[in-house]
Structure 1
Amino acid sequence: MDSKRGLFLVICDDPELASTLVHIQKNMDIKVWVPSKCGQLQTSLIDACEDSIHKEALVKGDVTKASFFSQWKEYKPICVVLSLKDIEKYSNIRELILTELPDARILSLQIGRPEEVPRKLIDNDRELVLSWTELLSRPISAELRHIESSHRVKEVRDILDGGDKIALLLQPDPDPDGLASALALRALLGRNKVSTPIVTFGKVTRPENLAMLRLLDLEVITIKPDDLSNFDKVALLDTQPTHFTVTLPKVDAIIDHHPMTGNYSDIPYCDIRSKYGATSTILTEYLRAAAVNIGQRLATALLYGIKADTLHLNREVIDADLYAFISLYPDINYNLLRRMEKPELPMRFAPVLAHALTSMAVKESILVSYIGEVEREDLIPQVADFMLQFEGSEWAVCAGIYENNLVMSVRNVGYVKNAGDVVKRIINGWASGGGHRTMAKAIFPVEGWKERYGNLNPENIKATVLNLFIKEAL
């Protein structure tokens, strides 16, 4: 039993429904009620579910007894799917759930048309009631995410609302996904930029991100790690403590979609979903579950966050990203979105790109370039993006010097090794970095690089980077 994963408890008298639900829910421990007495329902439920889940997930018992539910109290969160044709039995069991599992969320499925069984949230949003007809009109997984998000919204509010001043901390060079997520969390908490500022240890550098700040009137404050002690609460958005080169003095919440890179069991609130394409998707689900109005400015930011981190929905997306995108699209400002996506590039970028392309080192399917010292860090990933377009390339790595660090941007085609995993093996704990399957970033202190790999001669750097990726990526 893994109570930290949460419990997904199915109580229904329809074998097909039970089978469908256990196929969908993958993130929580699944338990399916089976009548203790032998009979047709017991046999049908076992036959429908036993090929999809372990036998111990089929729980025999009497659901009319309080003891059946009290045994699950250690789980957090708990989602109970309740669907029974016997109305009296349904009502009695529902009362037992409310009494014995006071923190549980309930998804009640009832027979009837939407007009006969209108969608509604009851008991302080603990229970979502909807008809079978409406359920079939959109995936069950969306309803389950809504239930889970309702629980998470209450939890993160309870943890963060206790602070008068809250820091929303992003990575050193904040991107659209992080910026949008911070703006969304601030809206979810009902805060303003004075009491809940967006902060970073670096600064926004990429032109499209600077355009986002300007067009959406966002303010990002640069602070030092020690400054976090001036805040009552600290929430990390689109990043994790291990992504930083320093130890953070305090962290109260993490909301991120990158692969988990540390043990965060001591952090009060942690919602890391590596299957999601963007943290903005997670925050969109929070806002929908909490019935928070998403205005044009916030909708534009969130949709841009999703587009930017998923390359226009072409990379690492799941149905949740698509639903969030579709729900936000009608409310965005299209003109602002276009201006953020296509910011002007300075002419001085042209010789940088030309130098990178003429100095590439190539081995098998790996392309490596070094563009020297740059005044803007965003030039490095832009070159890497461009390099991956060459025929036969599967890996593109661009390195450059920015503010006494050797910064490496990594891109791949998606069907090779995970870029984030490869970078983690390369940095091996002495530098910082991470990423996803198809894109990653590493930051090496210049002095540390020279100690391990020699001088900063361009040819030496390219050869070193190429050898590192031949060893770890092929």
Structure 2
Amino acid sequence: MVSRLVLGCGSVGRALVSALADRRGSVLVCCENEHRIETLRSDRVAARRADPTDPETFDGVARPVDIVVVAADDPAVNRAATDLVREHYPDAFVLAYAGKEPSAEVRMEIETLADRTIDGEATVAGDLMERIGEASMRPRRLRRVLRSVDGSLAVVTHDNPDPDAIASALALCEIARTTGREADICYFGDITHQENRALVNVLDVDLRKLEPGDIDDYGGIALVDHSRPGVNDQLPEDTPVDVLIDHHPPRAPVEARFVDLRSDVGATSTLLVEYLRQLGIDVEETVATALLYGIRVDTDDFRREVSTVDFEAAAFLMPYTDESVLERIATPSMSAETLQTMARAISNREVRGSVLVSHIADLHERDALAQSADQLLDIEGVRTTLVYGIIDGTVYCSGRTRGANLDIGETLRDAFDQIGSGGGHADMAGAQIPLGLLGESDEDELTDIVHDLIVERFFAAIEARPSVRSAGPFAEDDGDGSGSARG
């Protein structure tokens, strides 16, 4: 619940308190005007008589405080109160009114101390509320949670992390260190995709590969680029999470002390850029280069699910990045084994209308699935691909779609959530299905069983989605993006 403290209640303060009273969260008003205090109390607003410039005023205020509004009419009072607020509530968002006819010096001092300033009485309450919205509070709430962690922080990516996950974890570690907390980038699985390996090697990113039980070494847990422990990571499902930052829409409710889930941006890296900017943290070349590459990869070079915020984040990062390093990361050599794996996926393809399914036998690298799914999408007439393979008793799937009336993330959730887990974006997603006792079958029998399971559930999920039924998922491509239904 958001906690708000209002210091002083002049003309601007009265307008703001009226707007705050109807919002969720608590409000406490402290001012010296006894008549105004009685009026506020009659309106069921918590208020007490106190001097906003007296340090003892803060002794009786419960912590933490998320937002402090300094809103007396006297510029000198507001200047002194804002200074005290910064001392007592360093993580709070501070909105300060400059007061009536402030001098240029006082105005400048208030602007230096506050996060946002109010220039005049004409400012309406709606505008004031906009200035202290959720987006403005997030960075300070994040910093407060990080400071409260008892020990070092494990910033856990999803299994086999991609550039967006690695870059986001790198940035969050930097933010944690500004609060005095040591932090490590942690992951389960392997980093096998050549571009992901290049990112780690060229930028010399330090990551810790976790084994069961290693997480007990940390006093706090953060998840980036995924949102549920035990789903696409190997943490116990009941692991308490301190910080969660992700841009994927969750299938089920998520829990953490601090949660930032925004599916309207193209990359988690974009969200971390916002925190770095709002907290005034200098962005080093390594962090900036990683974040820009994370945004580029997850938005397919700004062609997929990209938002205005992604472009703004990229523009902010550009002056701090090394273009030659980006080029080295983006164009690594591809191993012969990866090429052979992709060739097997092409050879094993099964096409129904515009939907292609393939499998990779003897799979060694999970990232080969994503690369194959991307490449197969370039086949003429194919708009949706699903490629799967088996590693260590688990079936891994990677799906892609382009120019189709299909949300591949929701489709994989519908198909595989009951027997494993699946999800992602509208045009790119993945799934994991543990084999369990099926893994004891002989190789040929297992191949047939898995193929029937994946194909039947995938196509059944496609046919069950109403928007897809109306568009015709198995239509023949006639070259102009339309199609005719096929039985």
Same fold (TM over 0.5): yes
Normalising by structure 1, we get a TM-score of 0.72
Give yes or no for the alignment of 1:251 onto 2:208. no
Q: Is the 8 A contact 2:173 2:182 kept in 1?
A: no
Give yes or no for the alignment of 1:129 onto 2:117. yes
Give yes or no for the alignment of 1:169 onto 2:184. no
Q: Which amino acid aligns with 2:172?
A: L
Counterpart pick for 2:266 among 266, 270, 277: 277
C-alpha distance in 2, partners of 1:35/1:407?
49
Q: Which amino acid aligns with 2:265?
A: Y
C-alpha distance in 1, partners of 2:418/2:454?
21
Q: Is the 8 A contact 2:356 2:382 kept in 1?
A: yes
Q: Is the 8 A contact 2:358 2:388 kept in 1?
A: yes
Once the two structures are superposed, what CA deviation does each residue of 1:297-326 show, in whole Å capped at 9, x if it has no partner? 111011111111111122223232222111
Counterpart pick for 2:338 among 349, 353, 359: 349
C-alpha distance in 2, partners of 1:463/1:237?
31
Following superposition, the deviation at residue 79 of structure 1 comes to 6.0
C-alpha distance in 2, partners of 1:344/1:200?
24
Give yes or no for the alignment of 1:314 onto 2:314. no
Give yes or no for the alignment of 1:387 onto 2:376. yes
Counterparts in 2 of 1:187-202, with a 5 A limit?
187-190=174-177, 195-202=182-189
Q: Which amino acid aligns with 1:157?
A: L
Once the two structures are superposed, what CA deviation does each residue of 1:375-404 show, in whole Å capped at 9, x if it has no partner? 211111111112223344332111122233
Q: Is the 8 A contact 2:192 2:367 kept in 1?
A: yes
C-alpha distance in 2, partners of 1:310/1:411?
13
Q: Is the 8 A contact 1:383 1:398 kept in 2?
A: yes
C-alpha distance in 1, partners of 2:316/2:362?
42
Rate the CA distance shift 1:363–1:233 in 2: closer, same or farther, 3 A: same
Following superposition, the deviation at residue 81 of structure 1 comes to 8.9
| Residue aligned with 2:446, SS | coil
Q: Is the 8 A contact 1:406 1:444 kept in 2?
A: yes
Rate the CA distance shift 1:247–1:305 in 2: closer, same or farther, 3 A: same
| Residue aligned with 2:386, SS | strand
Unaligned residue ranges in structure 2 (runs of 5+): 48-60, 121-128, 469-487
| Residue aligned with 1:348, SS | helix
| Residue aligned with 1:455, SS | helix
Q: Is the 8 A contact 2:164 2:295 kept in 1?
A: yes
CA RMSD of aligned residues (A): 4.5
Following superposition, the deviation at residue 448 of structure 1 comes to 6.0
Following superposition, the deviation at residue 106 of structure 1 comes to 4.2
Partner of 1:44: none
C-alpha distance in 2, partners of 1:426/1:449?
18
Moved more, 270-279 or 172-181: 270-279
Following superposition, the deviation at residue 414 of structure 1 comes to 6.5
Counterparts in 2 of 1:36-51, with a 5 A limit?
none
Give yes or no for the alignment of 1:455 onto 2:457. no
Counterpart pick for 2:197 among 210, 213, 216: 210
Counterparts in 2 of 1:87-126, with a 5 A limit?
105-107=93-95, 122-123=112-113
Rate the CA distance shift 1:119–1:391 in 2: closer, same or farther, 3 A: farther
C-alpha distance in 1, partners of 2:259/2:116?
24
Rate the CA distance shift 1:226–1:462 in 2: closer, same or farther, 3 A: closer
Give yes or no for the alignment of 1:444 onto 2:433. yes
Give yes or no for the alignment of 1:470 onto 2:458. no
| Residue aligned with 2:336, SS | coil
Moved more, 325-334 or 408-417: 408-417
Percent of aligned pairs sharing the same letter: 27
C-alpha distance in 2, partners of 1:76/1:313?
39
Q: Which amino acid aligns with 2:369?
A: I
Q: Which amino acid aligns with 2:456?
A: T
C-alpha distance in 1, partners of 2:258/2:371?
34
C-alpha distance in 1, partners of 2:308/2:62?
30
C-alpha distance in 2, partners of 1:472/1:167?
40
Q: For the pair shown, which has the larger CA radius of gyration, 1 or 2? A: 2
Partner of 2:386: 397
| Residue aligned with 1:258, SS | coil
Q: Which amino acid aligns with 1:471?
A: E
Once the two structures are superposed, what CA deviation does each residue of 1:205-255 show, in whole Å capped at 9, x if it has no partner? 111111111011112222234221221111112122252464254322212
C-alpha distance in 2, partners of 1:377/1:34?
52
Partner of 1:49: none
Once the two structures are superposed, what CA deviation does each residue of 1:3-36 show, in whole Å capped at 9, x if it has no partner? 57x99x9x9999xxx9xxxxxxxxxxxx995799
C-alpha distance in 2, partners of 1:321/1:104?
27
| Residue aligned with 1:297, SS | helix
C-alpha distance in 1, partners of 2:336/2:364?
14
| Residue aligned with 2:361, SS | strand
Counterpart pick for 2:364 among 367, 371, 375: 375
Give yes or no for the alignment of 1:224 onto 2:211. yes
Aligned length: 413
Normalising by structure 2, we get a TM-score of 0.70
Q: Which amino acid aligns with 2:168?
A: S
Rate the CA distance shift 1:221–1:444 in 2: closer, same or farther, 3 A: same
Q: Is the 8 A contact 1:235 1:254 kept in 2?
A: yes
